A and B are shown apart, each in its own frame.
Chain A
Amino acid sequence: MVMLVVAFVSFSLFNFVGDPINNMVGEETSDEERAELRETLGLMDPIHVQFTKFIINASKGEFGISYQLRRPVSELIIERLPATIELVLISALIALVSGTLLGVYTGIKRKGFLSDFILAVSLLGVSLPTFVIGILFIYLFAVILGVLPSFGRGEVVDLGFWSTGFLTISGLKAIILPSVTLSLFQMTYIIRLVRAEMMEILQTDYIKFARARGINEKSINYKHALKNGLIPVITIAGINIGTLIAFSIITETVFQWPGMGFLFIQAVQFVDIPIMSAYLVFIAFVFVMINFIVDILYYFIDPRIRVKGDSASG
């Protein structure tokens, strides 16, 4: 359903936002050539035929030709998909691992100097726009220290269906700055979430009971408390994959990362409708999938979480 709505929105984009032909050709193009181009692009058909065609093509992954780059959009998306996916996955991993570690620490040592410091920094992290962090990192690590590359993916290995930067040293080096930049916002979010969960769980009866039984503190903190605290964290982190994909637009722009976000932002500036609508459909697809998986997870893990999740946000 959602996909149909999104498909219709992107289709409307195609049809009502200016005449694609005028976007594509110059003044010197004759009327005949224009008509020919119109025919080639299937713009002569009635609207409902066009919409059906659009749906059929979209389900096949075809979105027409980019106005700006004059290449099939599907090809452009596929070419750039691996870059974005790799960036987002690494960032999610960094955010999850370091966010959990810091969150647990601040959750246990509630009153330490380090805890206060981490929390203050995390608040600062929320106040620092991603692009400012990115610029700072480039200046510090690439220009002043010269240890990490400032742009691009480095050497990539083409596996046929996927081009990966994980198999070369320059590829691995190149992903450090963008992924850390992208992960920071999520990380602060997870720190706070984990901290709250930890504080809540450590107050529960069964932890008090465990403590009374003389189980050592480490085991309580990490084995019992963390395990329970992690369930909502992982689901939320899952949902936030979508957010990471969206925020990768900024990171990719700052680091000239050849992913879909970079493609999209250039498309917005150029009003390159085919790319915009394809990206829209793609993102919608990702969100629908994520929501679907999370919904299933909810029921599998613990029905209580659903209830709790609702009241917590209220």
Chain B
Amino acid sequence: MKYGYFIKILLAFFLAFAPTQTFAKTIKWSMQGDSLTLDPHAQNEGPTTQVSRQVYEALVTRGLDMKIGPQLATEWRTQGPNTWIFKLREDVKFSDGTPFTSEDVVFSILRAKQRTSDFKEYISTVSGVKAVNDYTVEITTSKPNPILLNQLSNIFIMSKKWSEKNFAVMAQNWDAGQETFSATNAMGTGPFKITLREPNTKTVFKRNKKWWGTMKDDKVTEIHLLPIKNAATRVAALLSGEIDVVTDAPVQDLARIKNSPAHKVESTAQMRTIFLGMDQGADKLRTGNTGDNPFKKKAVRQALYQAIDIEAIKKKVMRGLSEPAGIITFPGVNGYTEELDKRLPYDVAAAKKLLADAGYPNGFEVELRCPNDRYVNDEAICTAVVGMLGKIGVKVNLFAQTKSKHFKELKDNQGDFYMLGWGVPTLDSHYVFHYLYESGASWNRVNFSNSDVDAAIRVMEGEVNLDKRNAAIAKAWKIVKDDISYLPLHHQVISWAAKKDVNVPIRPNNEPLFRFASFD
């Protein structure tokens, strides 16, 4: 009958394609999102930087140990409080063969300071940059800047010639949806070059033969980035061998991946703390039912704090992969101490009493805003919090949405109660205070304002004496911790899953460096 043929054809199909071939020279890399643009100055965002980092290099960079080290600059020194001299590497060529000189550095830093650049705030203290000679650059800052190197490690260097030739002298205006050559093409001094770019589908990185450095493993010649939005599909693709490494393995699937004889999982504490913010500035909650703002009272904030069973979240939602946090900064950041990181105890009875004493014996109602595709199990954490706060009578309505809308609406000051995560790329507490606690700061959406903290931040920015500076940091942490301005939840732990024979060293900032990748 006709079926016979049909089945035979099907069978033939399967047999012909069954032996999946693996090319030992390509690493197929997947994560949830894709780079938003290849223009290295247009978007200061995780996956975008992760992609740019493979192609572009900066004056200085963090190695596998997360310490700042030389990259395009070999050495540097300060000349007075506001002037820095950088000596450049002389054997560097861009992947199109153009030699790299100080002109390119001057061009790139000025490009990153343009109005259309997303890094203009990031290096706002840089007031001038000039080429002393072909391989020396002088950078001046408007005030003493102890964290300039940290900031420069994220400013990628482009070729002036290439940018001029391709009309990409200005950073791409991402907000206006500008199309530029630099947004769809990348040409840097780094170990890889991009040979194929299909946004949200596939990006192919090939080895840059002109790269000055040495690869850990010469067998690694190609990287394919294949973003997969859905977590289950991503895991399926890894388990079925279509993907070699996943840099955001879902926590619930780690056990399953570990069980697979062909795969391995690595976890490390990420440089990111997850917390909840409560707007204490508004006179009346936008989504409340009491006509006032309960968050203005410290007792209410403490009640919410003590009602959250962080260990249950760790066990059930995070499957053990989180570190409960007492402050919004993590080990390794200057200013962190274990003492500060201790949490108030979980105590529902105490929380209820605090709430009643504060004048809300029947609780109140409020909306909690959450991203649903940004942090590890973000929405699930929020759902758990909703249940826990419900037990002390606070009726929380959850509103979870995609990260770009979540962040934009937070910045538009629309949240009463929200989830946020904070990383510290500079590894110094100043970064936290400057953005989260300083009066009127861009991410200070709880509207915290304390003149002592503001004064301490001024000291952190200008004080060259480390002891005095650290004392200011400690004082500021004490004030904000006692005030319970935010509800810290936990330090995030990230997990990478990979095939057994593919080694891509895991890094706390979640950024893979494929020049350090190797095959067994």
Q: Pick out which of these stretches binds chain A: B194-202, B205-213, B291-299, B300-308.
A: B194-202
- Closest B residue to A70 by beta carbon equals B177
Once bound together, how far apart are the Cα atoms of A39 and B439, in whole Å?
34
Whether A308 sits at the interface, judged by CB under 8 Å, is no
User: Which of A69, A143, A152, A270 makes the CB contact (< 8 A) with B239?
Assistant: A143
How many chain A residues sit at the interface, stated as a range, is: 35 or more
Once bound together, how far apart are the Cα atoms of A105 and B230, in whole Å?
40
A149-B240 in contact (CB<8A):
yes
Interface residues of B in 226-246 (CB under 8 A from A): 226, 228-230, 233-234, 236-237, 239-242
Whether A256 sits at the interface, judged by CB under 8 Å, is yes
| A151 with B233, Cβ < 8 A, contacts A24-B175, A27-B413 known | yes
**Chain B residues bordering chain A, tally (CB within 8 A):** 42
| In the complex, per-residue mask of B30-58: 1 if CB is within 8 Å of any chain A CB, else 0 | 00000011000000000000000000000
Whether B402 sits at the interface, judged by CB under 8 Å, is yes
A71-B233 in contact (CB<8A):
no
Closest Cβ of chain A to B237, distance in Å, is: 5
| In the complex, per-residue mask of B392-412: 1 if CB is within 8 Å of any chain A CB, else 0 | 000000000010110010011
User: Which of B14, B228, B234, B405 makes the CB contact (< 8 A) with A270?
Assistant: B405
User: Which of A101, A139, A147, A270 makes the CB contact (< 8 A) with B17?
Assistant: A147
Once bound together, how far apart are the Cα atoms of A124 and B183, in whole Å?
48
B229-A256 in contact (CB<8A):
yes
| In the complex, per-residue mask of A125-143: 1 if CB is within 8 Å of any chain B CB, else 0 | 0000000000000110011
A142-B240 in contact (CB<8A):
yes
Interface residues of A in 44-78 (CB under 8 A from B): 65-66, 68-72
A149-B177 in contact (CB<8A):
no
User: Which of A40, A142, A153 makes the CB contact (< 8 A) with B176?
Assistant: A40
Residues on the B chain within 8 Å of A70, using CB: 36-37, 174-178
B174-A138 in contact (CB<8A):
no
- Closest A residue to B404 by beta carbon equals A68
User: Which of B14, B37, B236, B402 makes the CB contact (< 8 A) with A138?
Assistant: B236
| A150 with B237, Cβ < 8 A, contacts A28-B442, A70-B36 known | yes
Residues on the A chain within 8 Å of B174, using CB: 70
B6-A101 in contact (CB<8A):
yes
Once bound together, how far apart are the Cα atoms of A153 and B198, in whole Å?
12
Residue of B1, B198, B240, B405 contacting most chain A CB atoms (<10 Å): B240
B17-A152 in contact (CB<8A):
no
Once bound together, how far apart are the Cα atoms of A258 and B1, in whole Å?
37
Residues on the A chain within 8 Å of B405, using CB: 270
Whether B18 sits at the interface, judged by CB under 8 Å, is yes
Closest Cβ of chain B to A65, distance in Å, is: 3
Residue of A37, A139, A152, A172 contacting most chain B CB atoms (<10 Å): A152
A28-B242 in contact (CB<8A):
no
Whether A29 sits at the interface, judged by CB under 8 Å, is yes
Residues on the A chain within 8 Å of B17, using CB: 147-148, 169, 172-173
B36-A101 in contact (CB<8A):
no
| A146 with B241, Cβ < 8 A, contacts A26-B412, A69-B199 known | yes
Once bound together, how far apart are the Cα atoms of A204 and B412, in whole Å?
72
B201-A258 in contact (CB<8A):
yes
17 example contacts (A-B, Cβ-Cβ < 8 A) are as follows: A28-B411, A66-B177, A71-B179, A142-B239, A142-B240, A148-B17, A149-B240, A149-B242, A151-B236, A151-B242, A152-B201, A153-B201, A173-B17, A176-B13, A256-B233, A270-B402, A270-B405
Report B's interface with A, CB cutoff 8 A. 1-3, 6, 13-14, 17-18, 20, 36-37, 174-179, 198-202, 226, 228-230, 233-234, 236-237, 239-242, 402, 404-405, 408, 411-413, 442
Report A's interface with B, CB cutoff 8 A. 24-29, 37, 40, 65-66, 68-72, 79, 98, 101, 105, 138-139, 142-143, 146-153, 169, 172-173, 176, 253-256, 258, 269-270
State the 8 A-B residue pairs at the shortest beta-carbon distance, nearest first.
Answer: A65-B177, A70-B177, A150-B236, A258-B201, A142-B240, A27-B412, A26-B411, A27-B411
